[in-house]
Amino acid sequence: MAAAAEPGARAWPGDGSPRPGSPACSPVLGARGRARPGSGPERTGRTTGSAAPGHSFRKVTLTKPTFCHLCSDFIWGLAGFLCDVCNFMSHEKCLKQVKTPCTSVVPSLVRVPVAHCFGPRGLYKRKFCGVCRKGLEVPAFRCEVCELHVHPDCVPFACSDCRQCHQDGHQDHDTYQHHWREGNLPSGARCEVCRKTCGSSDVLAGVRCEWCGIQAHSVCSAVLAPECSFGRLRSMVLPPTCVRLLSRNFSKMHCFRIPETAGPEPGDGEDSLDGSAATGPSRETLAALDSSKQTLKIFDGNDTMRRNQFRLVTLPRLASSQEVLEVALRAYYISEDPQDFELQALPLPPLTGDAQAPGKAGSNGTTEEGSRGSGPREPTPEAWVIRALPRAQEVLKIYPGWLKVGVAYVSIRVTPQSTARAVVLEVLPLFGRQAEDPESFQLVEVLMGSRQVQRTVLADEEPLLDWLRDIRQTSVRQVSQTRFYVTESRTVAPHISLLVGGLPPGLSPQEYRNLLHEAMAIKAAVVSVSHVYPSQGAVVLDVTCFAEAERLYMLARDTAVHGRLLTALVLPDVLHLKLSPDCCPLLVFVNPKSGGLKGRDLLCSFRKLLNPHQVFELTNGGPLPGFHLFSQVPCFRVLVCGGDGTVGWVLATLEEMRHRLACPEPSVAILPLGTGNDLGRVLRWGAGYSGEDPFSVLVSVDEADAVLMDRWTILLDAQETGSAENSVVEAEPPKIVQMSNYCGIGIDAELSLDFHQAREEEPGKFTSRFHNKGVYVRVGLQKISHSRSLHKEIRLQVEQQEVELPSIEGLIFINIPSWGSGADLWGSDSDAKFEKPRMDDGLLEVVGVTGVVHMGQVQGGLRSGIRIAQGSYFRVTLLKATPVQVDGEPWVQAPGHMIISAAGPKVHMLKKAKQKPRKVGAIRDARVDTLPSPEGDPK
């Protein structure tokens, strides 16, 4: 019973991973595969003895140039070597240096199985599939958390090796190792070891750590220290060791708050294959069939037969049964010995070209004449199912669960007499736990699906050989995705936090309890309300039962209270006491509706660069969940990705949450995605995001300088004025809004309101900043002759003193030196009457404009506004309904009073540091910290 050395997060050769010839890595014997499309290989035989784990290399002669997946150089006019299973192509000289494992054995090399979060289909140019290594010429999937790209029909074969972003169950790792992901490196990527180019736009080559971003050749990565330091962004990353979430049956989409509408379409679910488009592992486009070729449907077990989901393979009509079997196994990435399998033919349907419903195939049982024979069959059935031959015994790997032992797994022999309890008794001494009570341990089956990792505790008397047989009957390939763990059978105390929003605001804790009990029948014995946010209409539920948490989560999304649908989010626990003193994690808020499609792309980028638990989508619960999650973090910063309205939304929520935060004054940075972006301009973040590298954005946030900014409260108290003209206007209840940038009354608010209404009617047209400004100009031209004599419709008091207004059409209160997409409304001329404006001086400047033409001149830099007043307390009386806008959010305000005054403490903003001139070549790669050179390397 051999014990294996413990691999890394993803074990590569040199880190204790199995070698070819071991049970985990036995190659497909006698397999004959297909070469890369267009390479035109001439079949010249097969080679053995490669050092690469699990590959089944065969020598081919190329008639067209292709690229080596190891060195990325041409293979032209020379003999190349092709893996029949995963299409890895190599020079003969590179063959012994290949360290990248074959797709067929990758699941056995994963240290901690973690499922992926595949987003919507998209077209990813010059990217390659991580399963079959082919280019993504058609819409494909990518994981929202790591850099994995896959074809739709390759999704079920994707290894569950996503990043482990939190502690789940008994897992407790104090250190993290590099999480290597192969290929799809950025252009110009250089190896950290040899400093040569390690990326390629032609093949899947090179590796990159998903946490620290270090890049290297797959061969060179073996000499790097296995521990990951999280790289340049380590002070901003929320360490996975400090996040705990008992997820059980919650999918990763739920855990990371990724809307399920962004997931793969129905039919592309777990363990599904798209029969209409699926092909063999080389994914060749089926050309017009000639008389010498045939296309077969291959099922791998009862599950795919029931769903009628199959793989298509193309091979010569005179192919023997053995050749058909080998091609079928390669289509499902099965690397076991073909001698252990057989093909059963499914009956041909009468009068049609499609296969009969596979569910009826079991009635006639097996294939016509021995499917394992060597002679050609005539005719060959069009549909086959792979079946495993009965086995008298098997060699099975048993993993130590989360026990701290010195091996990754042990191999034992399973016979018909082997039960789950017998396996536990046999394995414990091999793990050095023979002195402990065997009754406190259990055997757990872990199914490592690409989208969900499922755990099942086996009964003590469960016959293990029968269990494996049932798995193979369901799906032959599922065996390679199934592990068996010996774990301690201690009871885990469930604790799940659910944030439920969409409730009526302003209720007491008891009223919220009663409301939830009535709407969702919550069980008081296992559910308690831990936090109440009355102003947000949200509560946090602590649930001590997995089943109840799952029920409440699913039910909340279909429940309406007072005509409003509820929202529910699963939140982890941040172990703030485990954070290092120099850790200041970044809380990221992204508004995907801002900036066209850039917000959606930024969400994905930040989830990959940081811990996805610290990235929040504002359309899914707003800013509250993020501040609640970080409420106990002693020091953190905030990045808001959106327009000025989004920034104001986040700052208003921060003001409400300030007294609940361990870090009451976090600094806030901005990535401007809106149209005006005046606050972003003032803080040097630019006029708008235009596709800069998200990593560079995060580095700029880390290097930014903290500045103070005033915040203002506006009390809107609408009331009847006694005028007959306005008596038809209904009085509105008083409300309070927060202001950071400016407040406009009159013509500029009217333009904003018309623009806002146009965008609400056709939001799909407002995805371009240039188009938005064009619409704004058109709206302005329509108002150019408009006149409403605003100075006759309002009254202004500054510091309790009445101020006479000149003839104006718009009155604007400005807090920052930027208005209307960067215009200087106040002007730069010195004035003995007023102080020089600053955003932290506790004063607002009041400016008037005479109309649309005047506003255009201000934005063109030809004029300034009319300076009216400067102060810290203002009272505006509206004599009739008037358009008002605050930080770009417009509405029509009923007659009444507006009181503007300073709001609480100043907020800490982050101002982008000025760029320092850098010498070309002075910095090699900012993403990676300087690492000690390998032994013997003179650099």
- Higher pLDDT residue, 491 or 886? 886
Q: What is the mean pLDDT of residues 530-536?
A: 92
Provide the pLDDT for residue 596.
Answer: 64
Would you say 102 and 131 are in contact if contact means Cβ atoms under 8 Å apart? no
pLDDT tier at 49, thresholds 50, 70, 90: very low
> Is the pLDDT assigned to residue 823 strictly greater than 70?
yes
Provide the pLDDT for residue 47.
Answer: 44
What are the CA-CA distances from residue 88 to residues 41, 280, 312 (Å)? 14, 15, 21
pLDDT tier at 587, thresholds 50, 70, 90: very high
User: Rg (Cα) of the chain, in Å, rounded?
Assistant: 33
Rounded to 5°, angle at Cα 265 from 150 and 502: 115
Provide the pLDDT for residue 937.
Answer: 42
Would you say 650 and 590 are in contact if contact means Cβ atoms under 8 Å apart? no
- Reading the block at residue 133, the tokens are 């290594």
- Higher pLDDT residue, 380 or 73? 73
DSSP 430: G
* CA 271 centroid distance within chain: 21
- Reading the block at residue 377, the tokens are 């069959």
> Is the pLDDT assigned to residue 61 strictly greater than 90?
no
- C-alpha to C-alpha distance for 168 and 553, rounded to whole angstroms: 19
Residues forming a β-bridge with 899: 715, 875
pLDDT tier at 36, thresholds 50, 70, 90: very low
- Reading the block at residue 764, the tokens are 């799909």
pLDDT tens profile 105-159: 888 888 888 889 998 888 888 899 999 888 898 899 999 999 899 999 899 899 8
> Is the pLDDT assigned to residue 601 strictly greater than 50?
yes
- Reading the block at residue 891, the tokens are 């509405």
Q: What is the mean pLDDT of residues 604-629?
A: 94
- Among 837, 892, 899, 890, smallest CA distance to 676 is for 890
Q: What is the mean pLDDT of residues 774-790?
A: 66
Provide the pLDDT for residue 570.
Answer: 93
pLDDT tier at 274, thresholds 50, 70, 90: very low
- C-alpha to C-alpha distance for 163 and 143, rounded to whole angstroms: 10
Provide the pLDDT for residue 170.
Answer: 57
What are the CA-CA distances from residue 451 to residues 130, 253, 434, 456 (Å)? 15, 9, 36, 16
pLDDT tens profile 734-751: 888 889 999 999 888 888
pLDDT tens profile 654-668: 999 999 999 999 999
| DSSP assignment of 115-171 | ---B---B--TT-B-TTT--B--S-BEEBSSSS-EE-GGGGGGS-SB----SB-TT-
Rounded to 5°, angle at Cα 339 from 337 and 344: 115
- Among 262, 272, 267, 274, smallest CA distance to 144 is for 262
Would you say 16 and 7 are in contact if contact means Cβ atoms under 8 Å apart? yes
pLDDT tier at 778, thresholds 50, 70, 90: low
Return the number of other C-beta atoms located less than 10 Å from residue 665's C-beta. 14
Provide the pLDDT for residue 874.
Answer: 95
> Is the pLDDT assigned to residue 755 strictly greater than 60?
yes
> Is the pLDDT assigned to residue 909 strictly greater than 90?
yes
Q: Which of 413-417, 667-671, 729-733, 766-770 has the highest mean pLDDT?
A: 667-671
**Exposed (0-12), middle (13-18) or buried (19+): which is 273, by Cβ within 10 Å?**
buried
- Among 498, 558, 508, smallest CA distance to 528 is for 498
Express as a percent the part of the chain with pLDDT over 90: 31
Q: What is the mean pLDDT of residues 828-843?
A: 86
pLDDT tens profile 500-524: 999 999 899 899 998 998 888 888 8
**Lowest-pLDDT range of 245-249, 465-469, 532-536, 909-913:** 245-249
pLDDT tier at 900, thresholds 50, 70, 90: very high
pLDDT tier at 348, thresholds 50, 70, 90: very low
> Is the pLDDT assigned to residue 795 strictly greater than 90?
yes
Could you give the 3-state DSSP secondary structure of residue 490? coil
379: preceding bond cis by omega (within 30 degrees): yes
For 173-320, where are the alpha helices, taking DSSP H only? 252-255, 302-307
- Say if strands 311-316 and 293-299 run parallel, antiparallel, or are unpaired: antiparallel
Average pLDDT of every residue of the chain? 79
- Higher pLDDT residue, 623 or 11? 623
Could you give the 3-state DSSP secondary structure of residue 9? coil
> Is the pLDDT assigned to residue 924 strictly greater than 80?
no
**Lowest-pLDDT range of 291-295, 370-374, 675-679:** 370-374
DSSP 852: H
Q: Rounded to 10 degrees, what is the CA torsion of 332, 334, 339, 343? A: -20
- C-alpha to C-alpha distance for 230 and 609, rounded to whole angstroms: 10
Q: Rounded to 10 degrees, what is the CA torsion of 760, 766, 770, 774? A: -40
Provide the pLDDT for residue 10.
Answer: 38
Residues 6+ apart with CB under 8 A from 598: 673, 689, 691
Express as a percent the part of the chain with pLDDT over 70: 78
Provide the pLDDT for residue 685.
Answer: 92
- C-alpha to C-alpha distance for 849 and 867, rounded to whole angstroms: 9
Q: What is the mean pLDDT of residues 710-727?
A: 69
pLDDT tens profile 844-892: 999 999 888 888 888 888 888 899 999 999 999 999 989 999 987 889 9
- C-alpha to C-alpha distance for 155 and 449, rounded to whole angstroms: 10
Q: What is the pTM of this model?
A: 0.82
- C-alpha to C-alpha distance for 178 and 210, rounded to whole angstroms: 7
- C-alpha to C-alpha distance for 729 and 721, rounded to whole angstroms: 10
Return the number of other C-beta atoms located less than 10 Å from residue 287's C-beta. 8
* CA 613 centroid distance within chain: 10
Provide the pLDDT for residue 107.
Answer: 84
- C-alpha to C-alpha distance for 662 and 659, rounded to whole angstroms: 8
pLDDT tens profile 305-332: 988 889 998 888 888 888 889 999 989 9
The b/e string for 864-875 (b: 16+ C-beta within 10 A; e otherwise) is bbbbbbbbeebb
pLDDT tier at 917, thresholds 50, 70, 90: low
Residue pointed to by tokens 């065996």: 479
> Is the pLDDT assigned to residue 454 strictly greater than 80?
yes
